[in-house]
C-alpha cells in the first residue's frame, strides 16, 4: 500500500490539534472522491449511470419537473426585474 505525506501549515496544524478526527481517513476519502470525479468528468457512461441511479430512487414526476422548471424560471425573471432588465 502506498504512503502519502502531506505538509500541513503550522497554523492549520494548531487548529487540527485536539479535534476528534481521523485525518488519514479524511485524506483517503478526499482522494477517492477526486479520483471518482476525474473518472466522472471523462466518462459519459458513468455520468449517465449516476443520473439513472438518482432517477431510480427519485420521487419526481414529469409534472413536478415542469413545476420546478417554472419555479426556477420565475426566479430568474425576478432577478432580471431587480436589475431593471425585464
Partner 1 sequence: MKVVADANELFSAVIAKGKGWKAKTLDIFFSDDVKLSAPYRLLAELERNRADIMSKSGFSHEEFDAFIGVLKLRVDFVPLEKFLDKIDEAKETSPHAKDIEYFALALKFKSDCIWSEEARLKEQAKVKVLNTNELWKLLNPESGDE
Q: Which residues bind partner 1 (CB under 8 A)?
A: 37, 40-41, 44, 47-48, 50-52, 54-62, 64-66, 68-77, 79-80, 85-86
Choose between 26 and 66: whose C-beta lies nearer to partner 1. 66
**86 and 76 in contact (C-beta within 8 Å)?**
no
The least distance separating partner 1 from the CB of residue 52, rounded to whole angstroms, comes to 7
Choose between 14 and 71: whose C-beta lies nearer to partner 1. 71
**39 and 46 in contact (C-beta within 8 Å)?**
yes
Amino acid at each position: 500500500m502506498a504512503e502519502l505525506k502531506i505538509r500541513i501549515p503550522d497554523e492549520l496544524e494548531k487548529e487540527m490539534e485536539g479535534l476528534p478526527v481521523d485525518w488519514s481517513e479524511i485524506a483517503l476519502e478526499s482522494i477517492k472522491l477526486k479520483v471518482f470525479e476525474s473518472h466522472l468528468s471523462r466518462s459519459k457512461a458513468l455520468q449517465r449511470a449516476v443520473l439513472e441511479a438518482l432517477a431510480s430512487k427519485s420521487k419526481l414526476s414529469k409534472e413536478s419537473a415542469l413545476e420546478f422548471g417554472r419555479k426556477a424560471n420565475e426566479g430568474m425573471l425576478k432577478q432580471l426585474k431587480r436589475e431593471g432588465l425585464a
